[in-house]
Amino acid sequence: MYSGRTGEKIDMIYWIEGQYIPESLKQINYFMRDWRSNDVTNIDPRTIDIMTAAHNLLETDEPYMLISGYRCPKTNAMLRARSSGVAKNSRHLLGEAADLHLKSRSVNQMASAASACKAGGVGRYTSSSFVHMDCGPVRTWGS
């Protein structure tokens, strides 16, 4: 992944032989921090699993561009004031969500791959060219 906001990149193995690698998860937590406040939280590994599985289904070598990972309450409230598409109790607040973009795949292709995982929420934000993936209840929204 890379961050369009910070210019940072991350490329690592985070799981091997049935075990998460603690140091890798720590790096992911930092990478997916709230870039506005620099607040860091533990990103739920299930979210990373969904992102990885969807990426594998898309059969691309292009890294995800991370639009948004963790959001602190202040950031979420600010975004919510600007847009009706931001949930008050967003999974981003819990470290359970990511908004992602790929240049080589459409929002529909990305959302279809994430939905095929049957593992969490998938939101299509076609006008903004990103897909929301989270490890909450299985559900879909957007067009």
DSSP result, 29-72: HHHTSBTTTTB--PPPHHHHHHHHHHHHHTT--PPPEEEE----
Distance between CA atoms of 126 and 143, rounded to whole angstroms? 6
What does the radius of gyration of the chain's CA atoms come to, in whole angstroms? 14
Q: What is the CATH number of domain 2-142?
A: 3.30.1380.10
Sorted by where each begins, the domain ranges of the chain are 2-142
The SS3 assignment for 98 reads strand
Distance between CA atoms of 25 and 23, rounded to whole angstroms? 5
pLDDT in tens, 14-63: 999 999 999 999 999 999 999 999 999 999 999 999 999 999 999 999 99
Output the pTM of the full model. 0.95
